[in-house]
Structure 1
Amino acid sequence: MLGIKNYKPVFYGDSLEFINNHGNRLRSMVNKNLCEMWTVHEVSSGEFWSDCPVVLLIGGQQLEFCSFKDQIAVSWNAIDLNESIIWYGSRDLRLEWRKNAIKGTSAFTGSPVEGADLIEAAQEGHPITLRGLGLKTAKGYIALFNEFDETVLTFEKNEECLYTEI
Structure 2
Amino acid sequence: MMGISGFEPTFLVGLEAVREENGQGLAALGGRRLTEFGIVRFVEDGDWFADCPVVLDFDGVQVEICHWKFDELSISWNTIDTTAAISGWEWSELTPAWSSADERLEPFVGQELREVALLEWRPSGRDVAADTLAVEFVFDTGRFHISNALDENSIDLGDAHPEFVRYPLGCDVQPD
Normalised TM-score (structure 1): 0.91
In structure 1, how many angstroms separate the alpha carbons of the residues matched to 2:88 and 2:118? 29
SS at match of 1:57: strand
Question: CA distance change for structure 1 residues 87 and 158 in 2, over 3 Å: closer, same or farther?
Answer: farther
Query: Deviations for 1:59-115, whole angstroms, at most 9, x for unmatched residues?
Result: 21111000110211110011011111136445833011111x111322111111111
Structure 2 gap ranges (5+): 170-176
Cross-structure match for 1:50: 50
SS at match of 1:148: coil
Cross-structure match for 2:173: none
Cross-structure match for 1:165: 168
State the Cα distance separating 1:118 from its structure 2 match. Answer: 0.5
Cross-structure match for 1:147: 149
In structure 2, how many angstroms separate the alpha carbons of the residues matched to 1:13 and 1:56? 21
SS at match of 1:25: helix
Are the equivalent residues in 1 in contact too, given 2:38–2:99 (CA < 8 A)?
yes
Cross-structure match for 2:13: 13
User: What are the residue-to-residue correspondences of 1:1-166 with 2, within 5 Å?
Assistant: 1-70=1-70, 71-86=72-87, 88-89=89-90, 92-99=93-100, 101-123=101-123, 124=125, 129-156=131-158, 157-166=160-169
In structure 2, how many angstroms separate the alpha carbons of the residues matched to 1:125 and 1:158? 16
State the Cα distance separating 1:37 from its structure 2 match. Answer: 1.8
In structure 2, how many angstroms separate the alpha carbons of the residues matched to 1:87 and 1:129? 33
In structure 2, how many angstroms separate the alpha carbons of the residues matched to 1:140 and 1:45? 29
SS at match of 1:75: strand
- Post-superposition, which runs of at least 4 consecutive aligned residues in structure 1 deviate over 6 A? none
In structure 1, how many angstroms separate the alpha carbons of the residues matched to 2:13 and 2:92? 32
In structure 2, how many angstroms separate the alpha carbons of the residues matched to 1:128 and 1:45? 33
Aligned residues: 165
Structure 1 gap ranges (5+): none
State the Cα distance separating 1:10 from its structure 2 match. Answer: 0.6
Are the equivalent residues in 2 in contact too, given 1:61–1:77 (CA < 8 A)?
yes
In structure 1, how many angstroms separate the alpha carbons of the residues matched to 2:10 and 2:49? 20
Question: CA distance change for structure 1 residues 104 and 6 in 2, over 3 Å: closer, same or farther?
Answer: closer
The structure with the greater share of residues assigned to strand is 1
Normalised TM-score (structure 2): 0.86
- What is the percent sequence identity of the aligned residues? 25
In structure 2, how many angstroms separate the alpha carbons of the residues matched to 1:111 and 1:13? 30
- Give the superposed CA RMSD: 1.8
